[in-house]
Structure 1
Amino acid sequence: MTAPALVTLAHGSRDPRSAATVEALAAETRRLRPDLRVEAAFLELAEPGFHAVVDRLVAEGHDEVVVVPLLLNEGYHAKVDVPRVVQEAMDRHARLQVRATRILGLEPAFLGVLDARLRDALRGARVRELDALVLAASGSSDTVANQAVARLARVWGARHHLPVVAAFASSAPPATGEAVRAFRREGRRHVAVASMFLAPGFLPDRAAELALEAGAVAVSEPLGADPELARTVLARYAVGAVELVPV
């Protein structure tokens, strides 16, 4: 019996660095599970689109697909767009079964990846002292999603015994620049910003730009195609695959 195919589904961006990161994460996932068929797809703004990937899998004989949404928060895309395209795929192919798993989300394990990216940024900027941190994320009109980022920021701050505030690149205050300036008004001069984004693109770039303009000493790169993220993708897949087993 062939295992269900795995499709990692990202929102998509016009920035080619974003698609390259998503493809690299799919490649890392394949490296960890070479027995699985793993494909990357996008909701919009990048190719290949989700339906094109599913159509190809069906043409090759796959009738079960597990979709792992590469989303870090439970916003509109997770609640509306992903269920919509999954249902459309099953409507297009009568014998196809598709299960969407939980989103990638804000796993505490990702804080280790965040720390590694921030250490790289601090080395590059030759920074040896910190007195505050900002956790930058995309932001959402969904207040629950933003609260999840704030909770993760508190956990991260406790790890480092430093004050931490969450900041957002869109849809919610404060912006990264505002967060950095607020710390500087308190007399904190060594404020670093960690990027809780999956991949490079307009929002991470804007968040970094605003932070540096406000006086941040360093801004990290997004999480990227780290093995920790690939392991989380496979953990989500395992649950989805079990849900496809007939009861």
Structure 2
Amino acid sequence: MNAPLVVVAHGSRDPRSAATIRALPLGARVSFLDLSAPLLTDVLCSLAAQGHRDAVVVPLLLGSAYHARVDLPALVREVPRLRVSIADVLGQDPLLENIALDRLRAAGADPADPSLGVVVAAVGSSHAPANDAVIALARRWNTRYPMLVAPAFATAKPDVASAIAKLRARGARRFAVASWFLAPGLLPDRIAARARQAEPSVLLTDSLAPDPRVAELVLARYHATLARAA
């Protein structure tokens, strides 16, 4: 199946977000669910008008929350002239975990430091399994590394201040926030501001993208989807 690759991100009012997604070394058609252009439906309609019969959409989403489960399939159904296969979300892939660890080290945090408290900060969701995946990531890091780790969310509980307080009670003396966001934007900025209020010396990491390993993961999702559709 000769199907174009379309990546779709959430979209943001913050122009840094879309710019970061476009900087991924993919050579794919970039689209957004909302707030940024071009919208996914516009890209899919353009492909159909060009004579394409198939397409593969890879969601640049880190969890299977409402956007992945409901919004995305509904938008795809709006373009019936095109057979669209939707890949799995990027999720809690080891490649992304490695990027997050590298971001920590680049910010000056050492995962081998038992006095280091790390908050894994994500967007949060009303869909509990999406939050559970981030909680599971924090547990894995607690098991694998001497550092102390706790999850936090921008739009759910616990928030970053509560997570820092919990880590301090567990014995942490230095603190870092590991961004579990693909791109910068308003919610990561909110987390950063609240983290600094709770601990002025906190170390803050960059978002996961752009990074060549994110592009590798996207292409792996694309080829796995093609194989399933064949």
Shift of 1:109: 2.1
Q: 2:197 aligns with which of 202, 209, 213?
A: 213
- 2:138 aligns with 153
Whether 2:178 is the aligned partner of 1:194: answer yes
Aligned to 1:79: 69
Residue 187 of structure 1 deviates from its aligned partner by 4.4
* 1:160 positional shift: 2.0
1:92-146 Cα offsets, whole Å, 9 max, x none, are: x2xx2101111111112211100121222227xxxx9852211111111011111
**Aligned equivalents of 2:178, 2:217: Cα separation in 1:** 20
Equivalent in the alignment of 1:238:
223
DSSP-derived class of the 1:191 partner: strand
Q: Which residue of 2 aligns with 1:163?
A: 148
Report the Cα offset of residue 65 of structure 1: 0.3
RMSD value over aligned CA atoms?
1.7
CA shift, 1:196, in A, is: 0.5
CA distance in 2 between partners of 1:232 and 1:132 (Å): 28
Match of 1:64 among 26, 49, 54: 54
Aligned to 1:13: 12
Structure 1 unaligned spans of 5+: 31-37
Q: Which residue in the other structure is 2:94 paired with?
A: 108
TM-score (norm 1): 0.86
Give me the identity figure in percent. 44
- What is the CA deviation profile of residues 161-213 of structure 1, one whole-angstrom value per residue up to 9, with x for unaligned ones? 2221111111x211112211222244422011100001011111111111111
Which among 101, 108, 131 is matched to residue 116 of structure 2? 131
- The 2-side partners of 1:74 and 1:221 are apart by 23
Using the alignment, how far apart are the partners of 2:137 and 2:34 within structure 1?
A: 28
8 Å contact kept, 1:134–1:192: yes
Q: Is the 8 A contact 1:9 1:43 kept in 2?
A: yes
In structure 2, do the counterparts of structure 1 residues 52 and 86 end up closer, same or farther at CA, with 3 Å as the change threshold?
Answer: same
Q: Which residue of 2 aligns with 1:204?
A: 188
- In structure 1, the residue matched to 2:26 is 29
Q: Provide the residue aligned with 1:4 in structure 2.
A: 3
1:118 to 104, 119, 141: 104
- Higher mean C-alpha displacement, 62-71 vs 235-244: 235-244
